[in-house]
């Protein structure tokens, strides 16, 4: 007779919330704590957004931004000689934490100090820094970032605003060439901006030199729009109505030669164009690369918004009861969070939010190193731009998904404005399209993967990239992708054939990483083959790229998801043994397996997943959710969202 075996449920973990918050806050815990202490004083802005008119709310948001400016927090990323703190990493941490509060305040803050101030800092030189930075940091000078145009959207290289140099007066003449070339969706433009960083096609001596940025006054000190400038209000929006977005047209507006933000190129008084970067394409991408901080900031803010939504939803699930199930005392209804489906809805998203948090931490650290001069090589800068683009896309999609599911998980209560979901949904929706449309950003990531940073891909448009890849032997591309090595890694991580029906290896990080890496590398090779086949068949390169765009996007997404998993695994490896580390391991396993489950059909199609093992993964996810259940409240409490910002009075506190 076979000996009976019993399975013992894993012991419940005891999470040290304060210690886990410290892990999440990381290097900039003090800065995050400072912003958290500041935010409750402005909790009333969340209600003001619902009760004030648009004009009133815009003024209220401006007042709050000025009050925050007075604390010195906005200047932390600017040079010390202008009243700043000289710490880019700290500025990202402050922005992410500020995103726990009203998002109109956050976006106006970002426009003023991140976009406008960042353009002056990164694209300008000492003459611009001396003239503007101190007043920008203090909020004395409000500005805007005028890049996007109605007719061109993400196609910045095709902007229709023209800046023509006039050597007779040593001035640039700024002109909107067509109505559709008007600047659009420009934050601060409709009412408050006195000055704009305007992106325009530079023309010198009849020759176009590509897109450059200029400092252009918009209003006088009384707020009156200056001659030659027309500004319209974009009007009421889906959300963020505390931000005064507007449209701008220029009719022969003259600015002095020194208005050119000349970090990468200049025009001499006699009308000679000079730049140390010979290639116009590289010059353009170098200029845009200096503005990557905006994408990093938006991604971090999106993760913070997801944290707010999950905090509300999990707390609600820990106190709201519905239906008797016979598992407790007669007459006692069951907590929502005790239902397996409720756990399945929220906990994989909780795991993904933790994963994106740690990926964002890596990204912010690399941004700090590049912008502070700690890392100076060109490849690191290019990798930063790619990682920022991809992380921003995944983080903003995360926010939309998490907020929607959290709203539904709160039932009718989630539909009440007091519980914040209405504002979170409306205010974060634009995150997916500003600072770059997510799909366009993932095309940028895919382009970098295909050219492997081996060519000067900053000079390649989509057609050039297609031709480049098509000119490379597919075998070379596949060798680069290390597919065979990755296949061996997966085989090593899988159980022996005799154990194929067991759950062995499912919680092994090496198995998760091997699966993610294989998917990424296989997709890179697949796109390369499709591009080569199309060009070899004589098809127009533009048509070839159009036909494989979906594959490019899926390749880029797989790449970023692998980076996210690696960041999570590497973070856990740095922690001391204990229940907090075990809790994060649970979440990391849940993130990895739920991601594999979501793409199970692909893994099956490519021979990396059997139907039996797919079922085992689904079963394991359910088990992981049950193990997360006792600590779910602690996991969201570790986000440390100030209680005042949750609003939802009935959701503060509750059972565990």
Q: Tell me if 613 sits within 8 A of 511, measured CB to CB.
A: no
**DSSP-derived pairing of the beta strands 273-274 and 266-267:** antiparallel
DSSP string of 60-87, one letter each residue? HHHHHHHHHHHTTGGGGGS-GGGT----
pLDDT of residue 201: 96
Mean pLDDT computed over 486-498: 52
pLDDT band at 503 (very low <50, low <70, confident <90, very high): low
pLDDT band at 98 (very low <50, low <70, confident <90, very high): very high
Mean pLDDT computed over 492-521: 73
pLDDT in tens, 618-652: 999 999 999 999 999 999 999 999 999 998 775 55
pLDDT band at 470 (very low <50, low <70, confident <90, very high): low
Mean pLDDT computed over 1-21: 71
Cα 472 to Cα 527: distance, rounded to the nearest angstrom: 13
Mean pLDDT computed over 535-560: 87
Q: What is the b/e burial string over 240-258, where b = at least 16 CB atoms within 10 angstroms of the residue's CB?
A: bbbbbbbbbbbeebebebb
pLDDT of residue 467: 58
pLDDT band at 529 (very low <50, low <70, confident <90, very high): confident
Cα 347 to Cα 594: distance, rounded to the nearest angstrom: 10
> What are the respective helix, strand and coil percentages of the chain, to the nearest 5?
60, 10, 30
- 25-138 CATH choice from 3.40.50.1100, 1.20.120.1200, 3.30.1600.10, 1.10.540.10: 1.10.540.10
Three-class SS string for 261-273? CCCCCEECCCCCE
pLDDT of residue 560: 97
Would you tell me how many other CB atoms lie within 10 Å of the CB of residue 599?
A: 17
CATH number of 293-649: 1.20.140.10
The pLDDT of residue 531 is above 60: yes
pLDDT of residue 463: 57
pLDDT of residue 202: 96
pLDDT of residue 546: 84
Cα 346 to Cα 268: distance, rounded to the nearest angstrom: 59
CATH architecture of 145-279: Beta Barrel (2.40)
Mean pLDDT computed over 534-554: 85
Element (H, E) at 253: strand 253-256
Cα 374 to Cα 359: distance, rounded to the nearest angstrom: 20
Cα 61 to Cα 108: distance, rounded to the nearest angstrom: 8
The pLDDT of residue 577 is above 50: yes
The pLDDT of residue 478 is above 80: no
pLDDT of residue 336: 85
Dihedral sign, Cα of residue 16, residue 22, residue 26, residue 32 = positive
Q: What is the b/e burial string over 449-458, where b = at least 16 CB atoms within 10 angstroms of the residue's CB?
A: bbbbeebebb
The pLDDT of residue 599 is above 70: yes
Mean pLDDT computed over 128-155: 93
Mean pLDDT of the chain: 88
The pLDDT of residue 492 is above 80: no
What is the residue whose two structure tokens read 């010059």? Answer: 283
Cα 591 to Cα 417: distance, rounded to the nearest angstrom: 30
> Phi-psi category of 377—alpha, beta or left, where left has phi over 0 and alpha has psi -120 to 50?
beta
Would you tell me how many other CB atoms lie within 10 Å of the CB of residue 120?
A: 25
Mean pLDDT computed over 424-429: 97
Distances (CA, A) of 137 to 44, 70, 621: 25, 9, 48
The pLDDT of residue 22 is above 60: yes
pLDDT in tens, 35-94: 999 999 999 999 999 999 999 999 999 999 999 999 988 899 999 999 889 999 999 999
3-state secondary structure of 245: coil
pLDDT in tens, 311-358: 999 999 998 767 766 666 666 778 889 988 999 999 999 999 999 999
Q: Tell me if 392 sits within 8 A of 441, measured CB to CB.
A: yes
Mean pLDDT computed over 570-575: 97
Cα 64 to Cα 86: distance, rounded to the nearest angstrom: 23
pLDDT of residue 496: 45
Q: Is 179 or 461 the better-scoring residue by pLDDT?
A: 179
Mean pLDDT computed over 378-391: 90
pLDDT of residue 460: 47
The pLDDT of residue 471 is above 70: no
For the chain, what are the domain ranges? 25-138, 145-279, 293-649
Q: Tell me if 161 sits within 8 A of 174, measured CB to CB.
A: yes
Two tokens, residue 499: 């154990």
**DSSP-derived pairing of the beta strands 253-256 and 171-176:** antiparallel
pLDDT band at 474 (very low <50, low <70, confident <90, very high): very low
Dihedral sign, Cα of residue 172, residue 176, residue 178, residue 183 = positive
pLDDT of residue 326: 61
Which pTM value belongs to this model? 0.91
DSSP string of 145-212, one letter each residue? EE--BTTTTT-GGG--EEEEEETTTTEEEEEE-SGGGSEEEETTTTTT-SEEEEEEEEEETTEEEEEE
Q: Max alpha carbon distance in the chain (Å)?
A: 103
Cα 38 to Cα 45: distance, rounded to the nearest angstrom: 13
């Amino acid at each position: 007779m076979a000996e009976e075996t019993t399975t013992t449920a894993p012991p419940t973990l005891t999470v040290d919330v304060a210690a886990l918050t410290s892990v999440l806050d990381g290097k900039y815990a003090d800065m995050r704590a400072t912003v958290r202490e500041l935010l409750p004083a402005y909790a009333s802005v969340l209600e003001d957004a619902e009760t004030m008119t648009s004009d009133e709310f815009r003024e209220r948001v401006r007042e709050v931004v000025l009050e925050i400016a007075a604390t010195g927090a906005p200047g932390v990323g600017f040079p010390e000689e202008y009243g700043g703190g000289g710490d880019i990493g700290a500025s990202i941490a402050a922005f992410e934490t500020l995103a726990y509060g009203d998002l109109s305040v956050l976006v106006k803050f970002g426009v003023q100090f991140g976009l406008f101030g960042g353009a002056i800092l990164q694209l300008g030189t000492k003459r611009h820094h001396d003239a503007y930075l101190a007043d920008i940091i203090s909020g004395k000078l409000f500005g805007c970032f005028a890049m996007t145009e109605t007719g061109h959207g993400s196609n910045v290289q095709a902007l229709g605003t023209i800046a023509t140099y006039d050597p007779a007066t040593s001035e640039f003449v700024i002109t909107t060439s067509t109505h559709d070339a008007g600047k659009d969706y420009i934050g601060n433009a409709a009412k408050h901006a006195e000055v704009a960083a305007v992106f325009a096609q530079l023309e010198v001596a009849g020759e176009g030199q590509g897109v450059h940025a200029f400092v252009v006054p918009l209003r006088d000190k009384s707020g009156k729009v200056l001659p030659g400038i027309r500004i319209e209000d974009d009007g009421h929006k889906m959300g963020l109505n505390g931000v005064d977005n507007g449209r701008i047209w220029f009719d022969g507006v003259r600015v002095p030669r020194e208005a050119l933000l000349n970090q990468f190129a200049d025009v001499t008084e006699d009308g000679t164009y000079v730049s140390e970067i010979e290639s116009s394409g590289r010059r353009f991408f170098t200029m845009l690369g200096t503005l990557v901080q905006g994408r990093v900031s938006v991604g971090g803010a999106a993760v913070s918004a997801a944290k707010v939504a999950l905090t509300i939803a999990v707390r609600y699930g820990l106190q709201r009861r519905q239906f008797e199930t016979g598992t407790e005392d007669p007459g006692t209804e069951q907590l929502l969070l005790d239902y397996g489906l409720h756990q399945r809805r929220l906990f994989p998203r909780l795991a993904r939010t933790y994963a994106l948090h740690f990926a964002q931490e890596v990204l912010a650290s690399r941004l700090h190193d590049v912008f502070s001069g700690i890392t100076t090589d060109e490849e690191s800068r290019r990798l930063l731009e790619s990682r920022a683009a991809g992380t921003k896309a995944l983080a903003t999609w995360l926010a939309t998904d998490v907020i929607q599911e959290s709203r539904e998980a709160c039932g009718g209560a989630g539909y009440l404005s007091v519980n914040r979901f209405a504002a979170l949904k409306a205010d974060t929706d634009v995150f997916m399209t500003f600072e770059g449309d997510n799909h366009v950003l993932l095309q940028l990531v895919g382009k970098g993967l295909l050219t492997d940073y081996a060519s000067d891909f900053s000079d390649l448009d989509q057609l050039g990239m297609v031709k480049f890849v098509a000119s490379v032997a597919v075998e070379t591309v596949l060798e680069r992708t290390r597919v065979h090595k990755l296949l061996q890694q997966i085989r090593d991580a899988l159980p022996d054939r005799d154990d194929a029906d067991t759950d062995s290896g499912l919680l092994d990080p090496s198995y998760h990483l091997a699966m993610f890496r294989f998917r990424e590398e296989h997709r890179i090779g697949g796109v390369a083959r499709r591009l080569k086949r199309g060009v070899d068949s004589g098809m127009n390169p533009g048509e070839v790229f159009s036909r494989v765009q979906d594959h490019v996007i899926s390749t880029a997404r797989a790449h970023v998801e692998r980076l996210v998993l690696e960041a999570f695994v590497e973070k856990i490896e740095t922690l001391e043994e204990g229940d907090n580390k075990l809790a994060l391991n649970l979440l990391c396993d849940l993130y990895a397996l739920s991601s594999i489950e979501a793409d199970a059909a692909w893994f099956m199609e490519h021979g990396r997943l059997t139907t039996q093992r797919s079922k085992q993964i689904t079963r394991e996810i359910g088990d992981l959710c049950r193990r997360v259940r006792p600590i779910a409240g602690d996991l969201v409490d570790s986000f440390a969202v100030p209680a005042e910002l949750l609003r939802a009075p009935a959701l503060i506190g509750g059972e565990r």
